[in-house]
Structure 1
Amino acid sequence: MPRAPGRFRVGCSGWQYLHWRGSFYPRDLAVGLFLEHYASVFETVEVNNSFYRLPEASTFEAWKERVPSDFLFAVKASRYLTHMKKLKGPEEPLSRFFERARSLGRKLGPVLYQLPPRWPKNIDRLEEFLAALPKRRRHAVEFREPSWYAEDTYRALEQAGITLCLHDLHGSEAPKRFVGPFVYVRFHGSGKKYGGRYPDSAVGEWAERLAGQVRRGRDVYAYFNNDWGGHAPRDAVRLREAIERRLGVDDPA
């Protein structure tokens, strides 16, 4: 029996950007309505500010009430866990994170763990961390140091059911290798960090690649982090539409 296709969601890394007024948000739109406008265009967003300061449970709860029922928040874990502790002793910070983030209920999507640059591969630490992750959640790990891109890393992720985050940040780009039960991609900028418009060729190549994963039954989450100049929402729409064309659908499914 053929495998049922996965579902794909494309969005941006954040929505609270004042400089998107006039290019994505109406110029006179109140900041307090940014999320509602964003959620009228996209089905998912990646929460980045949680990396610097974990929102209160009440904040997550308020966000949940402002978006449609099928909207998903991907949430980046705290830098306290990934950068300060470097994954050591993860139980308490993980417990604190999920105690608040679970207020999103069914709208909590994948959790992203972005590891620090200049921290080379430590496979024992990684395996201990992966073993502590809640099994019922979706998790993705983004590496920022090239030594992590190795077979023992991929094997540890696969065995734990954790996804390798693919990204294009210059100097630590991830190989275009799909590891884990779903696909998680971050676009950090074209030609400049967190800026620049992705050319049609790049959007087309990624659309082909991601549509292939959807056909194989994998769910796909893709987020644009090139917020400067308002390129992120425009590029996200372009990628979404390109994937739809390749799958022959009008809406992501």
Structure 2
Amino acid sequence: MSRAGKIRAGIGGWTFAPWEGTFYPEKLAKKKQLEYASRQIPTIEINGTYYRGQTPETFAKWAADVPEGFVFSVKGNRFVTNRKVLSEAGESMQRFFDTGVGEMGEKLGPIVWQFAPTKKFEADDFEGFLKLLPASRDGVSFRHVLEVRHESFAVPEFVALARKHKAAICYADHHTYPEIADVTADFIYARLQKGEDDVPTAYPPAELDQWAERARIWAQGGEPVELSKADPKSKPEKRPRDVFVYFIHEGKIRAPQAAQAFIERVNS
């Protein structure tokens, strides 16, 4: 076993007009943007799947456009998570996986399940949802991320359920969402959302240094002690973990530069 997992940093999506001429070369055709972006950063979080269904052909094409070693994270469809009773999401979840996300094969990274800021934690119903999450399909294994946005989730019971079902809790560096740094899976998923467009790298250099060091600690199987946990008494197994970090701040103009600067620090 290696001494540390792989650290990847990326952005949300690849189609964004303000990146034209700031991240993308001027006059680069839109149909070439994914090809270009995937050679500058090692991962991208696809947000469009949250709003609308795709096709197997689309997922396969996205996978074909990126180089070996690149991985996508994919948001699950909103019809799965935006409901009063989560344990009744089975049919919607089936439809999501029927769209062909597995066509990405080895280029498929974590699947992110985003919950509304108004969705409160209800243990029995949430476990019913977790039981619906498939571990694999057609030979493709799935890794699941829980992106919760209500403070009621910051409790030991939620951490225990996530760990029981081997789902990662998304760590959100956000002004209002709860920051839950508990490690509950064999990988780490973090969304850094406090960047600013007037900072060339979204986060100031000193803060990027700090986040790079935290990523190294996670990758080596540890936990950054300064980050808030919902269950401070619980200790995950110490083992190497892959780390996914996404820069997705409000304006997001500088997100690509943030990801690139972060990767430089991790690799230095």
1:214 aligns with 2:186: no
Deviation at 1:3, TM superposition (A): 5.5
What's 1:114 paired with?
Answer: 114
What's 1:79 paired with?
Answer: 78
Secondary structure of the residue that 1:88 maps to in structure 2?
helix
* Structure having the larger proportion of residues in helix: 1
Q: CA–CA distance in 2 between the matches of 1:206 and 1:117?
A: 25
Q: CA–CA distance in 2 between the matches of 1:241 and 1:160?
A: 34
Counterpart contact for 1:196–1:229, Cα < 8 Å: no
Structure-to-structure mapping, 1:185-196, within 5 angstroms: 185-190=190-195
Q: CA–CA distance in 1 between the matches of 2:113 and 2:161?
A: 15
Secondary structure of the residue that 2:88 maps to in structure 1?
coil
What's 1:68 paired with?
Answer: 67
Quick check: 173-182 or 114-123, which moved more?
Answer: 173-182
Deviation at 1:86, TM superposition (A): 5.2
Counterpart contact for 2:162–2:184, Cα < 8 Å: yes
What's 2:259 paired with?
Answer: 236
From the superposition, tell whether residues 144 and 67 of structure 1 become closer, same or farther in structure 2 (CA, over 3 Å). Answer: same
TM-score by length of 1: 0.89
Secondary structure of the residue that 1:228 maps to in structure 2?
coil
Secondary structure of the residue that 1:40 maps to in structure 2?
coil
Quick check: 129-138 or 107-116, which moved more?
Answer: 129-138
1:129 aligns with 2:129: yes
Q: CA–CA distance in 2 between the matches of 1:102 and 1:86?
A: 26
What's 1:165 paired with?
Answer: 170
From the superposition, tell whether residues 233 and 244 of structure 1 become closer, same or farther in structure 2 (CA, over 3 Å). Answer: same
Counterpart contact for 2:149–2:178, Cα < 8 Å: yes
Q: CA–CA distance in 1 between the matches of 2:252 and 2:54?
A: 27
Unaligned runs of 5+ in 2: 136-140, 222-239
Deviation at 1:229, TM superposition (A): 5.8
What do the CA deviations read for 1:21-47 (whole angstroms, capped 9, x no partner)?
Answer: 111001100100000000111121100
Secondary structure of the residue that 1:211 maps to in structure 2?
helix
What's 2:202 paired with?
Answer: 197
What's 1:251 paired with?
Answer: none
What do the CA deviations read for 1:207-245 (whole angstroms, capped 9, x no partner)?
Answer: 111101112201001111127362100000111111222
What's 1:10 paired with?
Answer: 9
From the superposition, tell whether residues 113 and 86 of structure 1 become closer, same or farther in structure 2 (CA, over 3 Å). Answer: farther
What's 1:93 paired with?
Answer: 92
Secondary structure of the residue that 1:155 maps to in structure 2?
helix
Q: CA–CA distance in 2 between the matches of 1:95 and 1:126?
A: 17
What's 1:249 paired with?
Answer: none
Counterpart contact for 1:25–1:37, Cα < 8 Å: yes
The number of equivalent residue pairs is: 242
Counterpart contact for 1:158–1:180, Cα < 8 Å: yes
What do the CA deviations read for 1:149-173 (whole angstroms, capped 9, x no partner)?
Answer: 1100000001111101001222113
From the superposition, tell whether residues 20 and 86 of structure 1 become closer, same or farther in structure 2 (CA, over 3 Å). Answer: farther
Counterpart contact for 1:196–1:228, Cα < 8 Å: no
Secondary structure of the residue that 1:54 maps to in structure 2?
coil
Deviation at 1:180, TM superposition (A): 2.0
Secondary structure of the residue that 2:113 maps to in structure 1?
strand
Q: Match of 1:198, as an amino acid?
A: Y
Alignment root-mean-square deviation, CA: 1.9
What's 2:23 paired with?
Answer: 24
What's 2:249 paired with?
Answer: 226
Quick check: 29-38 or 212-221, which moved more?
Answer: 212-221
Q: CA–CA distance in 2 between the matches of 1:175 and 1:110?
A: 18
Q: CA–CA distance in 2 between the matches of 1:85 and 1:204?
A: 41
Percent sequence identity is 31
Quick check: 226-235 or 107-116, which moved more?
Answer: 226-235
Unaligned runs of 5+ in 1: 246-253
Quick check: 195-204 or 173-182, which moved more?
Answer: 195-204
